[in-house]
Amino acid sequence: MAAVKPLSPLEIAEVLAKLQAVFLLSEESVVRDFMPSLGLGRNRTWLDRYLPLTGLDERSKNELLADGLSLEVVFALPGLAVAERHHLLDLFKTLRLGKNKQSELYSLIRDVCRMQGLSVGALLQQPELAEILAGAELTSTQKAERCKEALMRLRYPRFSRAQQAFHDLLKEAGVPPTLRISPSPFFNSEEVSIAFSFKSEKEFRHCLGVLQRLDAEGVIEKLVQLP
């Protein structure tokens, strides 16, 4: 027996809307008697989230029917102007993101737009992001990674500056790849982690020597004091 294909978010929205508009059922009845069979339980919040989807423009509705968008993005669409929706849909199509990565990237875009008072379109037209998206030599995966990095710098400018300064210090000090020095997450403490690997006593002593040199040159002190 063939598996039944799950309903797309738009199909669920249309079912809920028809139960009220065509069959004249009350919200209480829809929530109590029908939403559980749609996999939504009896939480009225889902009704408020799904119903606005029926008012989307045709292109956005078609994207919902394809069921390739994360629910976070789906429920954000009604709150955006048509042009803004299309900018977002074009972006996800270009980057070919899975649903989890869509949600992650959308959260960054939403936050940066709020912080800078920008529309989605204006944000994506900023030079760094526009250059990434137009890069013919980049794969969709590379574009997605670079877009995320650029948005992270915009969303967390202080953290990004500290991260870059940390990286620059290590590079200038000539730290070898066998020695891994890492800051605390988001630089929320002065703690610095150090790990190294070795295959011989000679390599072990070399790593210790590098650490002693970094300490003598004041690099360790600078790393601890960041940001």
Give the residue from 119, 138, 155 where a domain finishes. 155
Same domain, residue pair 168 and 217: yes
Instruction: Judge if the upstream peptide bond of residue 157 is cis by omega within 30 degrees of 0.
Output: no
pLDDT computed for residue 188 by the predictor:
78
Q: Within 13 Å, how many C-alpha atoms sit on residue 71's CB side? A: 8
Q: What range defines the domain where residue 45 resides?
A: 7-55
Residue 101 lies in a domain: yes
Same domain, residue pair 92 and 13: no
Residue 106 has pLDDT above 60, yes or no: yes
Same domain, residue pair 169 and 207: yes
Same domain, residue pair 137 and 162: no
Residue 63 lies in a domain: no
Residue 1 has pLDDT above 90, yes or no: no
Question: How many domains does the structure of the chain reveal?
Answer: 3
3-state helix, strand, coil in the chain (%, to 5): 70, 5, 25
Residue 227 has pLDDT above 80, yes or no: no
Residue 138 lies in a domain: yes
Task: Please name the residues in contact with 105: beta carbons below 8 A apart, sequence gap of 6 or more.
Answer: 91, 92, 95, 97, 144, 147, 148, 151
Same domain, residue pair 150 and 162: no
Same domain, residue pair 50 and 81: no
Residue 1 lies in a domain: no
Regarding pTM above 0.85, the answer is: no
Same domain, residue pair 50 and 101: no
101-115 burial, b if ≥16 CB within 10 A, otherwise e? bbbbbbebbbebbee
Residue 90 lies in a domain: yes
Residue 79 lies in a domain: yes
| pLDDT tens profile 193-205 | 999 989 999 999 9
pLDDT computed for residue 216 by the predictor:
95
Which class for 97: exposed (0-12), middle (13-18), buried (19 or more C-beta within 10 A)?
A: buried
In angstroms, the CA 84 to CA 113 distance is: 12
Same domain, residue pair 141 and 164: no
